[in-house]
Structure 1
Amino acid sequence: MSKVYTSEQVAEHNSPEDAWLVIDGKVYDVTKFVVDHPGGDEIILDLAGQDGTEAFNDIGHSEEAVNMLKDLLVGSLDPASRPAKREKVASVAQTSGVTTGGEGNGFLALACAIVFFGVAYYVANMR
């Protein structure tokens, strides 16, 4: 059985030299993959130490990309542990008192498009 990590433990791995991501409840060490990521390093580094499930699934990664995750797996996220990203977002929303309902959606869409085209380019040029 793989090691189980809390979101706090995952959150400690949030730098270019030590980057972990949670995707679908599994914890991946993506440190060595950051420079090879077809969509660029920015999206991974923006999500390092957090749950990247939504961004990963929204972009529509290929089966090959999903299979690449197997080599990066270090464990799973403790189900009782809340994702660090959501805790941060909740605390910012609570302290600001003002929301417009669409914060960050444009950046996420742009980032997802960049990753999608990066993966498509990578897959197209592997042959």
Structure 2
Amino acid sequence: MGVESKVFTYSDVSAHKTSDDCWVIIHGKVYNVTSYLEEHPGGDEVILGQAGSDASQEFEDVGHGSAARLMLDEFYVGEVDSTTKADAVDSPAVVEAEDSGDKSEESSKFLHFMLSLGILGLAFGVLLFNFSR
């Protein structure tokens, strides 16, 4: 990240929302996570559900640790111009996504909850296994 940062509009980022070209915004920074989709522990659909948009809240809701935060540096492509958010909200593609977004948002939150629950269960199982030795 020592290089001068490129600035993108929300519309620029929203054009990158497929499995072949996947960008997300997290805390005002733009990341090209296309190459990471298959490696994501929660599956590619979790990221693709947020592709081309601001995924900050979802990123925090899952409770990503310091390792995930450090990993983001590898995918950094620039900053987002926060003044362009209103333009993106007015665009037809975003309005259509908002109309169908309620069910998608609910299923995304449920998926995040289930993933978190699974990780906690796995950790608890490992602890019990190690304790019983």
TM-score by length of 2: 0.72
Which residue matches 1:112?
Answer: 112
1:39 aligned to 33, 37, 42, which one? Answer: 42
**Structure 1 pair 22–85 and aligned structure 2 pair: CA distance change class (3 A):** farther
For residues 33-56 of structure 1, the C-alpha deviation after alignment (integer angstroms, 9 at most, x for no partner) is: 000000000011111111101100
1 CA distance for matches of 2:106 and 2:23?
A: 24
Retained in 2: the 8 A contact 1:27–1:73?
yes
Tell me how far 1:119 sits from its aligned partner: 7.0
Retained in 1: the 8 A contact 2:46–2:108?
no
2:79 matches 1:72: no
How many residues matched? Answer: 112
CA RMSD of aligned residues (A): 2.7
Tell me how far 1:117 sits from its aligned partner: 5.7
2 CA distance for matches of 1:86 and 1:58?
A: 26
Tell me how far 1:27 sits from its aligned partner: 0.1
Retained in 2: the 8 A contact 1:38–1:119?
no
More helix by share: 2
Where in structure 2 are the equivalents of 1:1-127 lying within 5 Å? 1-82=4-85, 84=88, 88=94, 92=98, 103-104=102-103, 106-116=106-116
2 CA distance for matches of 1:42 and 1:79?
A: 26
Tell me how far 1:116 sits from its aligned partner: 3.5
Question: Higher Cα Rg: structure 1 or 2?
Answer: 2
**Structure 1 pair 39–5 and aligned structure 2 pair: CA distance change class (3 A):** same
Q: Which runs of 5+ in 2 are unaligned?
A: 123-133
**Structure 1 pair 72–86 and aligned structure 2 pair: CA distance change class (3 A):** farther
Q: Which runs of 5+ in 1 are unaligned?
A: 94-102, 122-127
**SS state at 2:25 partner:** strand
Runs (4+) of structure 1 exceeding 4 A deviation are: 83-87, 89-93, 117-121
